Amino acid sequence: MHRRQFLVSTVSTVAVIGVTVTRPSMADAALDGALADVAKARSKLTTLQGPFEQERTVSLLASKVKSTGHFWLVRPDRLRWELAPPDAATYWILPDGLAYKTKAGSGKVPKNQGPLGGVLADLLVLLGGDLASLKTRYDLTLVKRDATLLVIHAVPKDKALAKTTKRIELELSSDASTMRRVVIVEAGDDRSEITFGASTKDQPIDPKIVAGP
């Protein structure tokens, strides 16, 4: 190989390696910066509450079911997630696990156990916690960030969770503090889209509301 060809080949190889290394590093830095901004925006948050609308799409039946509800969050470790009739279901995320009350019955689930210990257990973090803490269970990707919104996708690394959930799409407000929309795409391509209404921050919440059943 001539000296000139060797130099061109070497430069090209280095350039390719540089692109390969730099792009993930830049993406990681952008993601870490976004997560840090979310954590900072939520650092002084004490309570959060508000309405939501949920639309569940069942791909096999090509049908959609719409629900409404309300949530109450008390940082750092309590959340009540309530679906209005006709669903009439309430879920609590508590320091020691989960609790639920539906038309079919009620019960409690120890922390990080059973089907309810999946995405539902992460709702408290999604709504008002440190999103960086999800890295142990999810691969996080910064999809979009501009003056109007912040979009992050979360793909389960946890094998048990991956059996039921393909990814979670998070859309936050421009100030990086509150969630605007959450889309849960299930393994079978069924999906639940949750859109949040105007939320109220740092207002007192009756402890009985988030105490569990």
Pairing of strands 149-156, 63-74: unpaired
Q: Taking residues 135-150, report their average pLDDT.
A: 94
**Is the whole-model pTM more than 0.85?**
no
What is the per-residue pLDDT across 44-73, written as a single tens digit (0 to 9) for each?
Answer: 999 999 999 999 998 777 778 899 999 999
Whether residue 32 is predicted with pLDDT greater than 70 in this model: the reply is yes
Ordered domains of the chain (ranges, CATH):
3-201 (2.50.20.10)
Give per-residue pLDDT as tens, 85-129: 888 999 999 998 899 999 889 998 877 666 556 678 789 999 999
